[in-house]
Chain A
Amino acid sequence: MLHLVLFIIFGAICVAGAINLIAQKHPLYSALSLVVVMGALAAIYLLLGAEFLAAIQVIVYAGAIMVLFVFVIMLLGAGEEEHTRGSKIALIFGVPGMIVGAVLVVWVLLKSNPLGETIGVGSLYGSGQTIGRLLFGDFLLPFEITSVLILIAIMGAVVLARRES
């Protein structure tokens, strides 16, 4: 019961933060809303028992990546933005697209879990050891490929940032 209440509270914070992200006019407030979304997501991971993932979510996303976002917004001195009415094409294709997407997600979820079983508090055992074993055992190849991908991204950033001599 408490689990459900907490899930609804953090889910609501998450959705409210996401809506606020779009509604805010100033990019810095939008970035801060995204931080709130990340924090609420971490709390939901924690409810599932994935404590390591929750901590990493806060450290990496809220603490490092979003700090850089805020840093760039501060550095560029971005001001308030104007809200436009939006394009008609976005309205015509966006709303049906969103509905189709939502239906697809629900369909996939129901298909993979036809009995509608719910996951209880802490039933996903996600300690540091378990995740480490998985990453460096079963998923070693994808893990290493991802690290190479990040290395390529860093090299790309260096090439782009290098001054023309």
Chain B
Amino acid sequence: MPTGNLSNSTFLIVSIVKILIFLFVLLTGVAYTVWLERKVVGHIQNRWGPTRVGPFGLLQPLADGLKFIFKEDLTPPYVHKVLYIAAPMLALATSLIAISLIPVGAVVNVPNVGATPIQITDTNISLLIILGVTSIGVYGIALAGWSSNSKYSMLGALRAASQMVSYEVALGLSLVGVLMLTGSFSLRDIVEHQQGAHWWEFWHWNIFMGGQFVAFFIYIMAAFAETNRVPFDLPEAESELVAGYHTEYSSMKFAMFFMAEYANMVTVACLASILFLGGYSGPVFGPPILQAVLPVVWFLLRVVFFLFLYIWVRGTLPRFRYDQLMAFSWKFLLPLSLANILITALVVALRA
């Protein structure tokens, strides 16, 4: 696995620079996903969406951010204070950690520094770390609901926790097929495995040649539920629960939950591109600088496609009923993903 050739001290500096860039891009991306959502949902509903702040309302995220910062930070009485404050931090922190393992581009040769991958770090258990971190993220939501000491928050948190635990099973099992085809937990290995001899050989992607299209759809549906998005947004169903687990939160604490949800969306979109759609593969040409940047562009295009899909679905589908939600996971997605594992295992065994 090519991971660069840096000395220890340069590695440290390069890593810090990479972390800062990734964090900046992720948080900006999160802000503009909100803008994209308001714009696209607006057009779906025959409205304009934000138009007033800047051209096409492009400065709207900035205005939203300022508004969040200057709002009064209320702490209701009777909350369990320590957990009430820790919960949004936990939710945001766990949603940001996952980005450190996402391979965004190929290994690049920086003049005078050395070769380094466009990725904060690559481990040989990357995928498991992401699953572990997202499963810890459930605590952020569950504790927020409990510590708020409010019925609405509590019900929202209970729904969120049970939903996320249920769909984590289907999500995890849908990845097993890809893992069997690749034989590695490293996301970079998974991407390289899907590269053909030439860039146009897109049939090497796991969704086509790997035959993982069933797994892909299971993953997409489970991912919608994991990020608490429509049509599975029961934890924050505004018509029955006010705002679900973050009812009692205001100002930056609410903004942290908001950012965590969108950061999770970005992570899930990144994973879908990496696991099923060949990651950063695509046509690469031109001078070295263009060769380094182009894979990142192809990767981001896939991510934006998935984000658009999220918003599109949100503008189209109504919300599930709670029993439908649970039955869909346990009675449909789970058996389907198990069948997918069996068939993939059979094919892998016969091919070997």
Chain A, interface size: which category? 20 to 34
Q: A59, B146: Cβ atoms under 8 Å?
A: no
* A58 vs B125: C-alpha distance when bound (angstroms): 12
- Number of B residues near A (Cβ < 8 Å) is 24
A68–B158 contact, CB under 8 A?
A: no
Instruction: Determine whether the beta carbon of B161 is less than 8 Å from that of A70.
Output: yes
The answer to whether A64 and B165 have CB atoms under 8 Å apart is yes
The 9 closest A-B pairs by CB, nearest first: A63-B135, A55-B128, A58-B132, A59-B132, A55-B125, A51-B125, A74-B146, A71-B161, A67-B138
Q: In the assembly, what is the distance between CA of A58 and CA of B143, in Å?
A: 18
From known contacts A58-B132, A71-B158, A74-B157, infer whether A52 and B138 are also in contact, taking CB-CB under 8 Å. Answer: no
CA–CA, A128 and B162, complex, Å:
28
Inter-subunit contact B125/A67 (CB<8 Å):
no
Residue of A whose beta carbon sits closest to that of B165: A67
Does B136 sit within 8 A of A, measured CB to CB?
yes
Verify B138–A74 contact, CB threshold 8 A. no
Contact between A67 and B146, CB atoms less than 8 A apart: no
A55-B128, A71-B158, A75-B158 are contacts. A63–B142 as well, Cβ < 8 Å?
no
Q: Is the CB of A68 within 8 A of B165?
A: yes
B226 to A: closest C-beta gap in Å = 12
Instruction: Known A67-B161, A71-B158; judge A51-B142 contact (CB<8 A).
Output: no
Q: Which of B124, B128, B142 contacts A71 (CB 8 A)?
A: B142
The answer to whether the Cβ of B244 comes within 8 Å of any Cβ in the partner chain is no
Complex alpha-carbon distance, A59 and B133, angstroms: 8
Is A58 touching B161 in the complex (CB atoms < 8 A)? Answer: no
Q: With A56-B128, A128-B125 as given contacts, are A62 and B161 in contact (CB-CB < 8 Å)?
A: no
In the assembled complex, how far is the CB of residue B345 from the closest CB belonging to chain A, in whole angstroms? 12
B109-131 vs A, CB cutoff 8 Å, 1 = contact: the mask equals 00000000000000111001101
Residues from chain B with Cβ under 8 Å of A70 in the complex: 139, 142-143, 146, 161
**Contact B161–A127 (Cβ < 8 Å):** no
Chain A residues closer than 8 Å to B129, beta-carbon distance: 55
Question: Which chain B residue lies CB-closest to A54?
Answer: B125
Task: Compute how far the CA of A51 lies from the CA of B162 in the bound complex, rounded to whole angstroms.
Answer: 28
B177 at the interface (CB under 8 A from A): no
CB pair A63–B138 under 8 Å, yes or no, is: yes
Chain A residues with CB under 8 A of B162: 71
B128 CB, nearest partner CB in chain A, Å: 4
- Give chain A nearest CB distance to B138 CB in angstroms: 5
Partner of B185 from A32, A62, A71, A128 at Cβ < 8 Å: A128
Chain B residues near A62 (CB-CB < 8 A): 132, 135-136
Query: Which residue of chain A lies nearest to B164 when distances are taken between CB atoms in the complex?
Result: A67
CA distance A40 to B158 in the complex (A): 26
Whether A14 sits at the interface, judged by CB under 8 Å, is no
B145 at the A interface (CB under 8 A): yes
Are B135 and A58 interface neighbours, CB within 8 A?
yes
Given contact pairs A63-B131, A127-B124, a sample of 17 additional A-B residue pairs in the complex whose CB atoms are under 8 Å apart: A51-B123, A51-B125, A52-B128, A54-B125, A55-B128, A55-B129, A58-B135, A59-B128, A62-B132, A62-B136, A63-B168, A64-B165, A67-B135, A70-B142, A128-B125, A128-B185, A129-B183
B311 contacts partner chain A, Cβ-Cβ < 8 Å: no
Asked if A34 is at the interface of the complex by the 8 Å CB criterion, the answer is no
Known A74-B154, A74-B157; judge A55-B142 contact (CB<8 A). no
Give bound CA distance, A57 to B165, whole Å. Answer: 16
Cβ of A21 within 8 Å of any chain B Cβ, yes or no, is: no
Closest CB in chain A relative to B168 CB, distance in Å? 7
Q: Which residues of A contact B183 (CB under 8 A)?
A: 129
Cβ B135 vs Cβ A64 within 8 A: yes
B131, A59: Cβ atoms closer than 8 Å? yes
Q: Which residue of B lies closest to A127 (CB)?
A: B124
Complex CA distance for A70 and B165, rounded to whole angstroms: 12
Q: Which residue of A lies closest to B126 (CB)?
A: A55
Residues of A within 8 A of B124 (CB): 51, 127-128
Q: Given the complex, which residues of A lie within 8 Å of B138, measured CB to CB? A: 63, 67
Is residue A35 within 8 Å, beta carbon to beta carbon, of the partner chain?
Answer: yes
